[in-house]
Amino acid sequence: MTESVFRFHQGTLPLLISIPHLGTDIPDPIRSQLTDVASQVADTDWHLDTLYDFARLSGASVLGARYSRYVIDLNRPSSGESLYPGQTTTGLCPTETFRGEPLYLSGKGPDKDELAARLQDYWSPYHAKLREELDRLKAQFGAVLLWEAHSIASVLPRLFDGKLPDLNLGTNSGKSCDSRILDAVTQSLEGQPFTWVTNGRFKGGHITREYGCPEQGIHAIQLEMCQSTYMNETVPFAYRPDLAAQVAPVVERMVMAAVDTMLALPD
């Protein structure tokens, strides 16, 4: 099952785009335990493989999940500990949507054995591939940029107040990448129309925090985008090429500014 839990394209740049919440598949045995609302997989990071196609065409490696975060959240630690203590969030195997709706039928839901099986079948293969590709690129280039691609509904009162800024950059409060790289990314945002923030409500999830280690030449940045910048936020969550055409060049400038700056850093 290992190769079937993710989609992977190997590139030629020291750049890995990770999209851990891209997947929408749910295995039938799990689907039978879920509520009707779960079938909408509303909390998917929709269409990011399309939005980030510029990176693949430019030579980036791209790793994307096939299975929904409702099966298991690849951007949570395997221990299940909260990334934002004291704040509302969803767990390793979510039991409710971002809006607080139950995902499982009454009396259903993963027990300890099921959780262990999902870690082995879905979580571990993704992280093994992530580590393998980071190690390959680091060995080849001496440094590598891990760009964590995420998106979310722009208004979710249960998770944050008001409307989220359009572009939310997270570097684990400066710990996951060299500050000069983040500076280059934010400088690339000058003059564009989207609102943005660094290390605000979203500071980077488990992948950013776990793998970002600038002292070892691995620089990690998470971008959490408002879905309103490129798609419709209601079912069926359609991609909006007219909107995407405005934001995709902005994202491309950010990503390439990060790569170029990383490559220019002194050894």
Cα angle 241, 242, 247; round to 5: 85
Residue 86 has what pLDDT?
Answer: 75
pTM greater than 0.75 (yes/no): yes
Domains, the chain? 6-264 (3.40.630.40)
Report whether 15 contacts 60 (CB < 8 A): yes
Residue 89 has what pLDDT?
Answer: 77
Residue 85 has what pLDDT?
Answer: 75
Per-residue pLDDT in tens (0 to 9) along the chain, 267 residues: 455 899 999 999 999 999 999 999 999 999 999 999 999 999 999 999 999 999 999 999 999 999 999 999 999 999 987 777 777 778 899 999 999 999 999 999 899 999 999 999 999 999 999 999 999 999 999 999 999 999 999 999 999 999 999 999 999 999 999 999 999 999 999 999 999 999 999 999 999 999 999 999 999 999 999 999 999 999 999 999 999 999 999 999 999 999 999 999 997
Residue 185 has what pLDDT?
Answer: 98
Specify the residue for token string 């039938």: 28
Q: What does the pLDDT look like over 57-97, one tens digit per residue?
A: 999 999 999 999 999 999 999 998 777 777 777 889 999 99
